[in-house]
Amino acid sequence: MSTLPVKTKRYINKDWLMSYLFLLPALTFFLIFVLFPMLKGIYISLYDYDISSFTFNGLENYSTLLHDETFHKAMLNTLLIVIVAVPIVIAFSIFVAMAIYKKSEFSRSFYRGVFYLPAVTSVVSVTVVWGWIYHPNYGILNYLTGAVGAEPISWLGDPRTALMAITVILITTSVGQPIILYVASLGNIPTTYIEAAQLDRATPGQIFRKIIWPLLMPTNLYVIVITTINSFQIFALIQLLTSGGPNYATSTVMYRVYEQAFLLGDFGLASSMGVVLAIIIGVISIVQFKYFGSDVEY
């Protein structure tokens, strides 16, 4: 009588064992190279940690950040980039997706490819060419603005223009993925919905607001989250084009982390910046999911 349940149990356990074996490689890599560094980052942030010392100093790194003006400046710049870039990326991507999703397969692929091009191009190549375009003497931007009578500007050297000049590049590298996503979800909207509205004499504006926009909500949410997270992490464009200058005008949180850790050798303070950034990104993701996610099926 007792043999049958035991047999089943052993069978189930063998099944479990196989599952864990299949998971083992992924889990091992994840624990060593993702989870452990995360915890270690929090741990290091509580230490005075550079080449010469490793001593516990509690929350001192965090209170240093509270009073560190260059960190404030970097945080402000990062927020500014996010606030400018995210809405533009969304609006532009929806515009392009709306304009191309009914086109032929060929031209749809063509435009998707064109707008994804800067995202596939190595960020180094992107910065090298934009550095040239923005160059005060040899760049074509000043040539073009000069043709309409404007004074030449040192786009990346002037604190008033540098941050926005970089944000423009960030935007061009960020729209590729959202466009692909919007084209996919627009294609999933049943055409009958829109045709029915047209029969009822709805204007294109009404159709967009009342039918298309609500159906795009899940995609909007996802795009906002990934674009926000990406913009928060902006680093390579800064490091390669301005190194945070002139006078911290383009310094961002991620660039400050790099500078503090790898140029100044202060791993403790750099880790505390990393933790602060991680918390901010975590909170923003949660808020966005809560706020936009209420009427979204997930």
Return the residue of 236, 243, 245, 246 that touches another protein, per CB under 8 A. Answer: 236
Return the residue of 64, 161, 239, 243 that touches another protein, per CB under 8 A. Answer: 239
Return the residue of 7, 9, 10, 29 that touches another protein, per CB under 8 A. Answer: 29
Region of 65-73, 153-161, 215-223, 242-250 interacting with another protein (CB under 8 A): 215-223
Q: Are 296 and 218 in contact (CB under 8 A)?
A: yes
Region of 57-65, 78-86, 182-190, 208-216 interacting with another protein (CB under 8 A): 182-190
Question: In the window 50-79, what residues touch another protein (CB under 8 A)?
Answer: none
Q: Give 158 or 195: the residue with its C-beta nearer to another protein.
A: 195
Return the residue of 56, 132, 213, 291 that touches another protein, per CB under 8 A. Answer: 132
Return the residue of 74, 82, 181, 216 that touches another protein, per CB under 8 A. Answer: 181
Return the residue of 1, 4, 6, 34 that touches another protein, per CB under 8 A. Answer: 34
Cβ neighbours, 10 Å, residue 41: 16
Q: Give 1 or 33: the residue with its C-beta nearer to another protein.
A: 33
Region of 1-9, 57-65, 80-88, 265-273 interacting with another protein (CB under 8 A): 265-273
Tokens of 240: 């390669």
Residues that bind another protein (rule: CB under 8 A) add up to a total of 96
Distance CA 259, CA 240 (A): 13
- End-to-end Cα separation, the chain, in angstroms: 46
Q: Give 84 or 278: the residue with its C-beta nearer to another protein.
A: 278
The residues that bridge with 56 in the sheet, in sequence order, are 47
Q: Which burial class, exposed, middle or buried, applies to 94 when counting CB atoms under 10 A from its CB (0-12, 13-18, 19+)? A: buried
Question: In the window 156-175, what residues touch another protein (CB under 8 A)?
Answer: 172
Q: Alpha helices, DSSP H only, in the chain?
A: 3-30, 36-44, 60-67, 69-100, 105-120, 123-133, 140-147, 162-174, 176-188, 191-199, 204-207, 213-232, 236-241, 253-258, 267-293
Tokens of 155: 């786009």
Q: Give 249 or 277: the residue with its C-beta nearer to another protein.
A: 277
